[in-house]
Structure 1
Amino acid sequence: MKKQLLTIAALATIALNVRAQNNVSALEVIKKDTVMQKDTVVKKEPFAFGDFTWLNGNDRRHKALLDTKYFTGRFLLDFNYTASNNNPIDHTVVGSTALARDHEFEISTIAFGGDFHYDNIRASVLTQFGTRATVVPRNDFSVTRGQFDLATAYRYLSEANAGYHFDVLNGINVDAGIFMSYIGLFSYYNAENWAYQPSFTSDNTPWFFNGLRIQIFVSDKLKIEPWLINGWQSYGMFNSQPGIGGQILWRPVEWAQVLTNTYYGADTQDKPGRKRFHSDNSIEVRYYKNKNSFINSMAFSVTGDIGFEKGDGVNGFHADPVKGPAQYFASGMIYNRMVMAKGHLGWTIGGGVINNPGRYLVLYPTGDANPIPAINTGATGSHPFSANPGDQFHGYDYSTSIDWMPNDYLTFRLEVVHRHASVPYFAGHGGVTSPDGYNTTPVPSNFTPDLVPSETRFIGALLVRF
């Protein structure tokens, strides 16, 4: 026993000598471990502190099904049937980016792709097929400048970008390519929205940008995102000046979001001196939550947009005898959402107003009422919808929607929406194409597109997102 004690004492003495030779004491080891713990700062994932699937314009899935270490897949299907009380004979929907065909089954969107992630490298690719591959590019008139048919080159891509993630603050992403715009709050993908037909504020503002963006996550609750882009929902550039802008997104608590977007650019053909400014601002609040009652949550969103064009013949908010008529955009919308039956039922009611003198953001009617030269033929409609400086346009809309959501990935939606304009704008029974509604029928000189000031539309939709 004595020998064993002596052996243990000897080993302890040797260990202390080794520590002494390396100038490392037990206390220093403890201090070093403490410093390492202090230096190891666990950065919080941006906006991961709460469940934000309740937001209008946000992904409502709690988990991505198609997820792997290096790739998270995405698949979307947007199928609808819509019917107007005007019953246009050419089955054409006027004044909407969400819809194209009337009294028909329609695949608005089918998209597949996903997000790549390896170390700090990131990329997103999402295709775009269906009527939106035609409806949305036709509203971008920058493609008529020059050659190589940008509308065809890009139309089958809704998102295509790549970049790098820097481990600074709570993360900084630098991306280049085509990416979604959330000016107007509503998402481009209807599976993320409270309503199917967006109000004027969303439908007349950009769905995409082409250029560069930097996402700066100052904290896990605040994002600042500057943009350098070709222009206002444009594949190309109208003049020599790129558009600039940005977004500030703040989610201080799980039940509230504050969002603001700003844009400045020159987006009128052959008018480089005409500058456009736009400010988009939204607040969303979930004011009730109870998982144990039939009504699970209630929330509202309020959006207000203000903007103008000034120079080269127009003068912003005030008409001037020399500088030109007023040309501005003022709009707002408000929606209320109720979710019930353990998240399986949803009811939304809302609407908005618009005032756009000069009509520079109003979606132009198609067919014989189209004022813009067609990309392939260069022809305009023989009775074009006017969009001259000073031309007035006032409108309002309201809608109600009922959703059945068996799970996070599928939505059945029924919606009724009424829209009204101060001028004849929506397709009437005679349509906007030809006397019999077919674009192969010659348009006689006495044909006039049948535009009416209002419509009531019934929409049924199947929305899938994996």
Structure 2
Amino acid sequence: MKTVTKSILLLTMGAAISIPSFAQQKGEPFEGMDQTWQNGNDRRDSSVFHIPYFTPSLMVDVNYTHSFNKPNDNTVVGSTALARNNEVELSALHFGGDFEFKGARARIMTQFGTRSQVVPRNDLSPYRGQYSLANVYRNLSEAYVGYHFNKWNGINIDAGMFMSYVGLNSYYQPENWEYQASFTSDNTPWFFNGVRLQIFPSKYLKIEGWLINGWQSYGKFNSMPGFGGNITWVPKSNVKLLTNDYYGTDAANIPQRKRFHSDNSLLVRYYNKPESNGISRMAFSLTGDIGFEKGGGVNGFSNGDSSKGPAQYFASAMFYNRIWFAKNKIAWTVGGGVMTNPGRYLVLYPTGQASPLPNPNNPTQTEGAFPFSANPGDPFKGWDFSTNFDFMPNQSITFRVEYVHRHSSVPYFAGPGGVTSQTGYTTSALDPNWRPDLVKSEDRIIAAILFRL
């Protein structure tokens, strides 16, 4: 990372980018360490903007994905990265930036495109109370204010909506090694709404605490908030270790049901010759998650006591290896992951929430009519594999082609009959015998252009 003598560090998904400031810092977190290679991190080494008090940011994500299942409604299910098959899709348009003046700070990033519909659809907290929280926040990916204390290597206190680090992958696709996230990332939260405290005791270490509304939820499901935190240790430029841990109550109107989740990642760059025209860099990322829900009719990892309900837990892992070529302008990534989630409490619903009620976040003709069950103990296992090639002529643009295979133990992905109607259109009168066509596997090819400035 290029260092700037007078700068404040932007820290979102763990990335560190120097941006201009008039306040002299005593130290900078991860100062002098190259993190541009890391999965889930900003791959830029600096911002092109040099504007006092404000650093703009613009990201555009356009993709085309071909599903070999060829659903008749062109709808992708079970993904937060994709929404439409066999169409050019503006997945995400983000613009905003970072403000800083004498320690006061704020970050605002808008979001438009299909992700502004897909991700809020997975938050059911707007069912509680009035006002459509999904629509209020739909076009914001990040919006928080805070203060930077010039102590040790920095202390930040922020309040608002900020990114989650759970599952390693970044919400912003230009920061990820793969496009379609593995189950570990896609089924864990992308954002939190609440307060965070970041402490950097040294340039190698970040300790962060959260007091939030809940697990990727705009509002709260019960009276107790969610608690959690992150510890990130970067002992040197080629190694990164982190853990994220969460505790909360996220089952609507079941305050007795408590959730715990632990997410842990190791990233290692094991080869680095950035000026080589051959292989210029090699690295891997390994992530393992484990968690459970207990109380209110479910019993964590145990099936032994029927009076307490069936087991309800989450266990997953994912591994990716990436090789860069031609002075880091070309890269090849291969990897995948596995997941088991009895009770399906973190599985993305492919045909609406497990409720007979219509979902106000995503009204369609069939929403809620054919719910994907998520009853205590309902089994779900999945695994995935992907490989891609990236061409990156500069630090602001990536051209990516990716192949993905995903498989589940129960019918889950959209089959040829789609999930909308027998014709694929919401305007068609439903055949009373029609049901969403869910299948156990899917294969797809994704082509994407990712831009960041």
Give TM-score, length-normalised by structure 1: 0.89
Partner of 2:291: 307
User: How many Å separate the matches in 1 of 2:252 and 2:325?
Assistant: 49
Greater mean alpha carbon deviation, residues 332-341 or residues 285-294: 285-294
Partner of 1:240: 223
Partner of 1:74: 57
User: How many Å separate the matches in 2 of 1:218 and 1:194?
Assistant: 30
Q: Percent identity?
A: 63
User: How many Å separate the matches in 2 of 1:72 and 1:42?
Assistant: 17
SS of equivalent residue, structure 1 residue 251: strand
Match 1:375 to one of 360, 381, 397:
360
Q: Give the 5 Å matches for 1:397-416.
A: 397-416=384-403
Partner of 2:428: 441
User: How many Å separate the matches in 2 of 1:211 and 1:341?
Assistant: 43
Deviations 1:150-176 (A, max 9, x none): 000000000000100112221100000
Q: Give the 5 Å matches for 1:129-148.
A: 129-148=112-131
Query: Which residue identity does 1:340 align to in structure 2?
Result: F
Query: Which residue identity does 1:333 align to in structure 2?
Result: M
Partner of 1:197: 180
Partner of 1:178: 161
Match 1:432 to one of 419, 441, 449:
419
SS of equivalent residue, structure 2 residue 306: coil
Query: Which residue identity does 1:297 align to in structure 2?
Result: R
User: How many Å separate the matches in 2 of 1:405 and 1:419?
Assistant: 27
User: How many Å separate the matches in 2 of 1:227 and 1:314?
Assistant: 26
Deviation at 1:138, TM superposition (A): 0.3
Q: Does 1:333 align with 2:339?
A: no
SS of equivalent residue, structure 1 residue 342: coil
Count residues in correspondence. 426
Partner of 2:301: 317
User: How many Å separate the matches in 1 of 2:78 and 2:219?
Assistant: 23
User: How many Å separate the matches in 2 of 1:368 and 1:448?
Assistant: 16
Partner of 2:338: 353
Partner of 2:248: 265
Query: Which residue identity does 1:173 align to in structure 2?
Result: N
Deviation at 1:77, TM superposition (A): 0.1
Query: Which residue identity does 2:241 align to in structure 1?
Result: V
CA contact (8 A) 2:359 2:368 kept: no
Considering fraction of residues, name the structure with more helix: 1
* CA separation of 1:368 and 1:428: change in aligned 2, threshold 3 A: farther
Partner of 1:18: none
Q: Does 1:119 align with 2:106?
A: no
Match 2:348 to one of 363, 376, 390:
363
SS of equivalent residue, structure 1 residue 218: strand
* CA separation of 1:322 and 1:368: change in aligned 2, threshold 3 A: closer
Output the aligned Cα RMSD: 1.6
User: How many Å separate the matches in 1 of 2:237 and 2:413?
Assistant: 40
Match 2:83 to one of 96, 100, 111:
100
Query: Which residue identity does 1:78 align to in structure 2?
Result: D
Partner of 1:297: 281
User: How many Å separate the matches in 1 of 2:35 and 2:247?
Assistant: 30
Task: Give ranges in structure 2 of 5+ residues lacking alignment.
Answer: 1-23
Query: Which residue identity does 1:280 align to in structure 2?
Result: D
SS of equivalent residue, structure 2 residue 202: coil
Q: Does 1:274 align with 2:257?
A: yes
Partner of 2:144: 161
SS of equivalent residue, structure 1 residue 63: coil
Task: Give ranges in structure 1 of 5+ residues lacking alignment.
Answer: 1-40
User: How many Å separate the matches in 1 of 2:333 and 2:358?
Assistant: 38
Give TM-score, length-normalised by structure 2: 0.92
Deviations 1:42-100 (A, max 9, x none): 83311122111000000001121233121011000000000111000000001000000
Deviation at 1:108, TM superposition (A): 0.4
CA contact (8 A) 1:368 1:449 kept: no
Match 1:419 to one of 406, 423, 436:
406
User: How many Å separate the matches in 2 of 1:296 and 1:290?
Assistant: 5
Deviation at 1:145, TM superposition (A): 1.1
CA contact (8 A) 1:367 1:433 kept: no
SS of equivalent residue, structure 1 residue 152: helix
Partner of 2:213: 230
User: How many Å separate the matches in 1 of 2:243 and 2:128?
Assistant: 31
Deviation at 1:371, TM superposition (A): 6.3
* CA separation of 1:370 and 1:435: change in aligned 2, threshold 3 A: farther
Rg: which structure is higher? Answer: 1
User: How many Å separate the matches in 1 of 2:294 and 2:354?
Assistant: 27
* CA separation of 1:302 and 1:372: change in aligned 2, threshold 3 A: farther
CA contact (8 A) 1:370 1:380 kept: no
CA contact (8 A) 1:369 1:432 kept: no
Query: Which residue identity does 1:256 align to in structure 2?
Result: V
SS of equivalent residue, structure 1 residue 269: coil
User: How many Å separate the matches in 1 of 2:314 and 2:353?
Assistant: 26
CA contact (8 A) 1:368 1:433 kept: no
SS of equivalent residue, structure 1 residue 151: helix
Match 2:201 to one of 187, 206, 218:
218
Query: Which residue identity does 1:323 align to in structure 2?
Result: K
Query: Which residue identity does 1:98 align to in structure 2?
Result: A
Query: Which residue identity does 1:211 align to in structure 2?
Result: G
* CA separation of 1:292 and 1:464: change in aligned 2, threshold 3 A: closer
Deviations 1:203-243 (A, max 9, x none): 00000000000000011110000000000000000000000
